[in-house]
Amino acid sequence: MTHPYYPSLDGLRAIAVGIVLAAHGGVPYFRSGGVGVDMFFVLSGFLITTILSTEWARTGSINFRNFYARRFLRLVPALLLTCAFVAVGMLWLENRFPGTEIALVLSYTSNWAQALYKVHLTWLNHCWSLSIEEQFYLLWPLVIVGLERLERAPATKVKMLLGGALLVAIYRASWVGIYSDERINFGLDTRMDTLMAGAALAYFVQSLPTRRLAESVSWWLGRFVAPLALAGIFGIIHFVTWYSPWMGWVGYILVAGAAVLVVMDLVVGGHSWLARVLAWQPLVFIGKISYGIYLLHLPVYYIIEKLMPTAALPVRLGIKLAISLSLATASYYLIEQRFLRLKGRFEPPQGAGKV
């Protein structure tokens, strides 16, 4: 099955991972690097829902085995490589094997260890977001089957998903100050709104009845709305810390809304100046390798901090970025691409029976 490819979405991935790299690297402006993760969540919700709903429209079913096989081939090989890299690094520099951390990461339960028990996974601490996404992938095909069997118009599904996202946001806000910061930030139940917002966008794109209407929406988005939304995201990054109660109250849902507007501009029309900037080839390339960058950057950061603790911040950060990008590029071409070529074996057949 083929889907439209939007280079600008890879460019947006580059922006998102750049936010994470800068925040973890100690760049003063970037106080809330988790906002980059929220942008990834919106993209995941949009793309996965697009894939699943398109499969349903074409075949009248969703092949769960094939879907999970494709997710496995996309995610697990690079994650195994990262865990091996971390194991070697920690044995070398800390003289211990991170068995517990690796088990939590490979079982995609590290977010709950952090949410419920405040476990700190050191070199793999950033993998909480991968756990949330994998739990979403396990759940979401069932949700899409339920939505599709309702046989409602795409616009109705948009309303249902946005309503669900709003309920999650209200639920989370009601627990701020009662639950721990970790419980608010790392639980699937408290972070689903961002993923659901991306899913709602997928159905919104399907609901546009005419190309003319799509172009009208794109005109307003590209000239005014999307650039302001992206500027708002960068404002939140600077003025609000990630653990601030404000993020739990309204911050996450505001970032989700802003990211949805940006993604909408890129896929509905896609001819705005912002779409052209994000389709710049260096950004597109970084977006393509962003999964490896995200996985490997924190272990690299730990290693450089241990080997060069007194070097100036710009020197340390430059070395961290150079190594992270180099390793991610190698991972993409030597590991990830080899397994991605196998995904074609798990595409759904035409005319499959209903689930």
Residue at 244 is within a domain: yes
Burial of 111 (0-12, 13-18, 19+ CB in 10 A): buried
Residue at 352 is within a domain: no
Residue 2: its pLDDT value, please? 57
Centre a 10 Å sphere on the Cβ of residue 121 and count the other Cβ atoms it contains.
20
Each residue's pLDDT tens digit, 157-206: 999 999 999 999 999 999 999 999 999 999 999 999 999 999 999 999 98
Which pLDDT band, with edges at 50, 70 and 90, does 86 fall under?
A: very high
Residue at 351 is within a domain: no
Residue at 349 is within a domain: no
Residue at 348 is within a domain: no
Average pLDDT over residues 242-256: 94
Residue count of the chain: 355
pTM of the model: 0.95
- Work out how many domains the chain is built from and give that number: 1
Residue at 85 is within a domain: yes
Residue 345: its pLDDT value, please? 83
Structural domain of 25? 7-341
Residue at 324 is within a domain: yes
User: Average model confidence (pLDDT) for the chain?
Assistant: 93
Contact 31, 236 (CB under 8 A): no
Average pLDDT over residues 250-261: 97
Residue 351: its pLDDT value, please? 39
Which pLDDT band, with edges at 50, 70 and 90, does 210 fall under?
A: low
Angle between helix axes 128-149 and 188-207 (nearest 10 degrees) is 50
Read off the DSSP letter of residue 347.
P
Kindly tell me if the per-residue pLDDT of 212 is higher than 70: no
Burial of 318 (0-12, 13-18, 19+ CB in 10 A): middle
Kindly tell me if the per-residue pLDDT of 258 is higher than 90: yes
Residue corresponding to tokens 């580059």 = 14
Residue at 229 is within a domain: yes
Sequential DSSP letters for 44-110: HHHHHHHHHHHHHHHHSS--HHHHHHHHHHHHHHHHHHHHHHHHHHHHHHTS---HHHHHHHHTT-H
Each residue's pLDDT tens digit, 47-58: 999 999 999 999
